[in-house]
Structures are given as structure tokens and as C-alpha cells.
Amino acid sequence: MTAKRKICVVTGSRAEYGLLYWIIRDIQDTESLELQLVVTGMHLSPEFGSTYRQIEDDGFRIVRKVDMLLSSDTPSGIAKSMGLGISGFGEIYEELEPDIVLMLGDRFELLAAASAALVAALPIAHIHGGEVTQGAFDEAIRHSISKMSHLHFTSTEVYRRRVIQLGEHPDRVFNVGAPGLDNIQRLKLLSRSKLEESIGMELGSRSLLVTWHPVTLEPRRAREGFEALLDVLNGFEDMRILFTKANADTEGSVANQMIDEYVAEHTDSTIAHTSLGQLRYLSALKYVDGVVGNSSSGIIEAPSLATATVNIGDRQRGRVRARSIIDCEPTETSITNALHKLFSAEFQSSLKNVVNPHGIGNVAGKIVDVLCTHPLTNIVKKSFYDLPDEDKLN
């Protein structure tokens, strides 16, 4: 009997776990694969909702936990967290002996997980490589993980070509679409009334989902852009606002404190949640008039629900986007103009014809097929793939 391939899936945040959910589910349900689920980062932090419990409630067995997140969100605190992560993952890989380590995205926890896998000579499969986010150090992390990885799953053909441009062999780079769209395709979203009951607020006639994260390449400026957004929201009457809190990024606590203060002053029209989970988050995306902030979900998932996005500042600059995205600067004037455009009848009417460039779903099955069948012999010995002369830059 052929031994099962051991797939070690690493997850460190609520958002990335939501994107991985169906991939994890399909790995678990595939006879030729053995799931090794390792949880780290925000999942283990009470401050961020101890979301590892949600993973267990979903029916998954967590085989190991890597506790690496410190209470500090300063650059030195995050650097120390990464050091703890590398040490912890090194020990766990030695125990588990996985055949492939699978990870999604660009957070610092994953850089630690990838670094430990690299020195252990373990094949890495990376999801969402090749993307550009010019306002965050996540971009450098993402490309670094791509260079440490051996199998690549991108969300658009543009990103596939970019990973190849990094020197990765085309035979190992697969354009499968964005896995977050599987949730829209496979989850039964809540009704509007069930969502309102769950979040503790009625959405009313006009509503926004606000999700804001620090722009990590603009240190000590976490307050400025978000303060401008909050000031603008004060000027919109009869607006219901659902906030989701920031991740454990540099200065993320600053944004979260501002959310708490704003909600305390606007108790009749706002509510904040540390973690909505994928079901409630996507259901909210479906029923609000728009998502506002600088989260990738506004770029990747929102178009598939025909929901408009006001994308503020540089954090997501460079991503492929649908026509439902309204980009603006982090100033009161620019944000105000963008929100007026979002609520205009003409723009709302145009949303029904939006095409999402990140695909239509069915992503998990494509990824699992590759994990089952791709040869692993000598896969960690990579050669640098040079672009053909006609594809090289002048």
C-alpha cells in the first residue's frame, strides 16, 4: 500500500484560515493525503479571539501549536516573534516529517514557517504568490516565500507570469484562481436577518463594512489615514457601520483602539467585532452597500458578491482589480468623493455586470490534485528559470 503524502498546512490568522478552509477540508477528505494542521500566530492569542477554537469547532484536528505572538506590535516585538516562530517550526517539522508544507499569503508568521522549512529541505507549496502590494512589507515577505517555495498556486495569470519572472519554473506554477472564492461558491451565506441577529446590529437603509489594517511601510502613521476615514464617516447620516478589527501587524493596536473609541461614541449606529469568521464576513459583504478600508478582501472577494469597494491608500496598490473598486487617497476629500461615487445610483447599477479577475472558484480541488500527483523527487533542488529572450525586459 502506497504511503499517504503528509501535507503540513500552516495557518496563523483568522483571515488566512478562512481562505484555506476548503483546501484543508479537501486534504482531510482525500485518501491519499494525510493532513497535518499546525496553528500559530493570532489563532493562539486571546486578544484576537483565540480563533484556534473555531478551527477545532470546524472538525479539524490541530496536530501542533507554535506560540510565537508577543503582546508587542512594535517592529522589535514582531522581529522577536519571528525568531520564536523559526525555532518552534524547526522543532515541529523534525517531529512531523511532512512531505509538503502548505501556506497561503504573506504574513510574518509564514516567513518564519517558510524559513524553518527551507533549512529542513522540505518542499513548500505557496498560495497567492506573485501579487503586488506596494504599501506593505507583506510584498517582500510574499516574494521571499515564493523564492523558498517549490509549488506555486496563483490567483491570476498576471501573477503566474510574475512568479515565473522571479525564476520559478513554469511547470511548477499553477494559475488556479483565488481560494477565497470557494467560500462564496460552497458556503450557504446567512440571510440578512440572521446576519443582523448574529452581529448585534440592523444594517438599515445604508451600511458599510469597514476593515482597516496599518500600512506597514509607513511606520508611526497608523493613525492618520484611519482618522481621516472616521472623520468622513461622521458626515454621513443614517449610516450603519460594521467594523472588523486589525490583524497583529505593526501598530495594529492603534487602529483597534480608535475603533473602540469611535464605537463607544456612536453606539446606535456602529458595532465592532474582533473576528467575524468567514460565514459572517462574507454574508456582511453580500448585504452592505460597500466595503471600505484597505483589506485584500475588498479587492478579491467583494467583486464576486457584486459589492462595491472603496480602497484607501497604498496598502493594496498594484493588485489586479475589478471595476467595482474605487481607489482613493487617505485624505478626507478623496474618501468623501469615493463614498459619494459608491452610493451613486449609476455606480450601484454597474455592479451587476462586474467580472472578478480572480476566477470563479473551484480552487481547492485544483490545488489538492497537484498536491496528490506532482512528483516530489529532487523537488527541493531548484534551478533558476530564465525567461525566454522575447519575454525579457529591455
Q: Is the pLDDT of residue 192 over 90?
A: yes
Indicate the domain borders of the chain: 5-179+361-383, 189-353
Phi, then psi, of 122 in degrees rounded to 5? -100, 135
pLDDT of 157 = 96
Higher pLDDT, 27 or 137: 27
Kindly write down the DSSP assignment for every residue of 94-126, as one continuous string.
Answer: HHH--SEEEEES--HHHHHHHHHHHHTT--EEE
pTM of the model: 0.84
Residue range 243-255: average pLDDT? Answer: 76
According to the model, what pLDDT value does residue 248 have? 60
Cell output for 200: 448585534
- Check the CA dihedral 87-91-92-96 and report its sign: positive
The mean-pLDDT minimum among 73-87, 258-272, 300-314, 358-372 falls in 73-87
Q: How far apart are CA 138 and CA 144, in angstroms?
A: 10
Backbone φ, ψ for residue 393 (5° rounding): -75, 145
Mean of the pLDDT values across residues 202-210?
Answer: 96
Q: Are strands 240-244 and 207-211 parallel, antiparallel or unpaired?
A: parallel
Mean pLDDT of 308-329: 93
Strand runs labelled E in the chain: 5-11, 33-40, 62-66, 100-104, 124-127, 151-154, 173-175, 207-211, 240-244, 270-273, 290-293, 308-312, 325-328
Neighbouring C-alpha atoms within 13 Å toward the C-beta of 290: 23
* pLDDT recorded at residue 51: 85
Q: What is the pLDDT of residue 2?
A: 74
CB count within 10 Å of CB 293 equals 26
**Domain 5-179+361-383 matches domain 189-353 at the CATH topology level:** yes
- Cα 22 from Cα 11, distance rounded (Å): 13
The chain-wide mean pLDDT, for the chain, equals 92
From residue 171, give the alpha-carbon distance in Å to each of 151, 168, 350, 375. Answer: 9, 9, 38, 11
CATH number of 189-353: 3.40.50.2000
pLDDT greater than 50 at residue 394: no
Q: Span 63-74, mean pLDDT?
A: 85
Task: Say how far apart CA 268 and CA 313 lie, in whole Å.
Answer: 29
Query: And the C-alpha cell for 245?
Result: 478589527
Mean pLDDT confidence for 291-318 = 93
Q: Which of 308, 311, 313, 312 is nearest to 344 (CA)?
A: 308
- In terms of pLDDT, which residue wins out, 206 or 391? 206
What span, in angstroms and rounded, lies between the C-alpha atoms of 343 and 340?
A: 5
Mean pLDDT of 335-360: 95
Average pLDDT of the residues in 269-288: 93
Which grid coordinates are listed for 353?
A: 455586470
Relative to beta strand 124-127, strand 270-273 is unpaired
- φ/ψ bin of 39: left (φ > 0), alpha (ψ from -120 to 50), beta (otherwise): beta
Name the band, by pLDDT with cuts 50, 70 and 90, for residue 391.
low
- What is the CATH superfamily name and number for domain 5-179+361-383? Glycogen Phosphorylase B; (3.40.50.2000)
The percent of residues above 90 in pLDDT, for the chain, comes to: 75
Residue 26 has pLDDT above 90, yes or no: yes
Candidates 388, 387, 394; CA nearest to 166 is 387
- In angstroms, the CA 291 to CA 208 distance is 6
Q: Is the pLDDT of residue 326 over 80?
A: yes
